[in-house]
Amino acid sequence: MRLYQITYDLRKQRDYPSLYQRIKAYGTWCRPLESSWIIATNDTVTQVRNNLQAVMDANDGLLVVRLQGEAAWYGLSAEVTRWLKEQMARCTV
């Protein structure tokens, strides 16, 4: 499995429910910040981007980045911290 961080700007129609449904469909996810999600999947970064882009408007913005190696954070809940530590230990580099 790989970990990907997803950040986005929905600028005009702001169809959050459709985007959230696509993200949650990956099964293993957390939402550490308001417009930021992290998922675990075997999909490639391009596959994730294409899947999410399918429910976005042409003027929206999307960034999908693979997380590897080190990470640091501040001000996240204990639940998110626990999830991140567990998932980072499981995912391949």
State pLDDT tens for residues 48-57: 999 999 999 9
Cα 7 from Cα 30, distance rounded (Å): 12
Dihedral in degrees, nearest 10, Cα atoms 44, 4, 9, 32: 160
Residue type, 26: Y
The total number of residues shown for the chain amounts to 93
Please tell me the total count of domains within the chain: 1
For the stretch 62-71, pLDDT in tens is: 999 999 878 8
28-43 pLDDT, tens digit each: 999 999 889 999 999 9
Position 92 confidence tier, pLDDT thresholds 50, 70, 90: low
> What CATH number does residue 53 fall under?
3.30.70.240
Determine the structural domain holding residue 49 and report its residue range: 2-90
